[in-house]
Amino acid sequence: MRILVINPNTTASMTRKIGEAARKAAAPGTDVLAVNPEDGPPSIEGYFDEVFSIPGLIGCIQKNPDYDAYVIACFDDTGLHAARTATSAPVIGIGEAAFHMASLLAGRFSVVTTLAVSIPAIEANLVHYGLSVRCGRVRASEIAVLELERPGSDACSTISAEIGRAIKEDHADAIVLGCAGMTDLAERLSREHGVPVLDGVSCAVKLAEGLVQLGLRTSKAGGYAAPRPKAYSGIFAANSPK
């Protein structure tokens, strides 16, 4: 089984960290490759960055069409629906994966993300997925995404303090880490707080493996139907559906 994990931003150090977490979660015999586009924002923090990351994300799928499944490693599930139209293989967003996994482990969970600008998108996704009633609150640690990549950063302690508040104030029984850049913190924070702390990258890889093993594919009967062939213009010509 081959899974392509796509970090939709262009920060290669984050892609390497995401790839390590994905390979650690994968079963023996699953081949995981982590990639990022060459063009786009270095981090995705809010709606503006999201728009400019999606062409590169779709391009990664178009350049690697033979994988058994794809994981979108941005917690906002950036471009997830468009990606599902680009392939019949399963495409899993790490946000959706983590929400569903948390709902199987706890009656109530909270999300701890990076900046407050990301909260509206995450809240909208929870409503769309039908899981908003299971989420106590989406919280911002006010840690910039790229700060998670800086050696010596106090990001982990700041995130940990926010988790403590979520458990106390939201009565959260589990915590979802709301950024792919936090993927290496989950085990440590779970031990520290005594509740499940979920990393969406690991959750998405396991769900992708399960769908492939069950022989399930993305439905093409409705909104995820393949786009009609047409020639795009200018810088998006390479993304033209064929």
Per-residue pLDDT of the chain in tens (242 residues, 90 and over written 9) = 999 999 999 999 999 999 999 999 999 999 999 999 999 999 998 999 999 999 999 999 999 999 999 999 999 999 999 999 999 999 999 999 999 999 999 999 999 998 899 999 999 999 999 999 999 999 999 887 777 777 767 888 899 999 999 999 999 999 999 988 888 889 999 999 999 999 999 999 999 999 999 999 999 999 999 999 999 999 999 899 98
DSSP state letter for 122: H
Q: What are phi and psi of 136, to 5 degrees?
A: -70, -45
Half-sphere exposure in the Cβ direction for 84 (13 Å, CA): 17
Domain ranges, ordered by start, for the chain = 2-94+203-239, 95-199
DSSP state letter for 182: G
Residue 193 corresponds to which tokens in the numbers above? 């707080």
Identical topology for domains 2-94+203-239 and 95-199: yes
CATH number listed for the domain at residues 95-199: 3.40.50.12500
Dist CA 17 CA 101 (whole Å): 21
What is the pLDDT at residue 59? 96
Dist CA 202 CA 217 (whole Å): 20
- Return the closest-CA partner of residue 111 out of 120, 20, 205: 120
Q: Which CATH architecture has domain 2-94+203-239?
A: 3-Layer(aba) Sandwich (3.40)
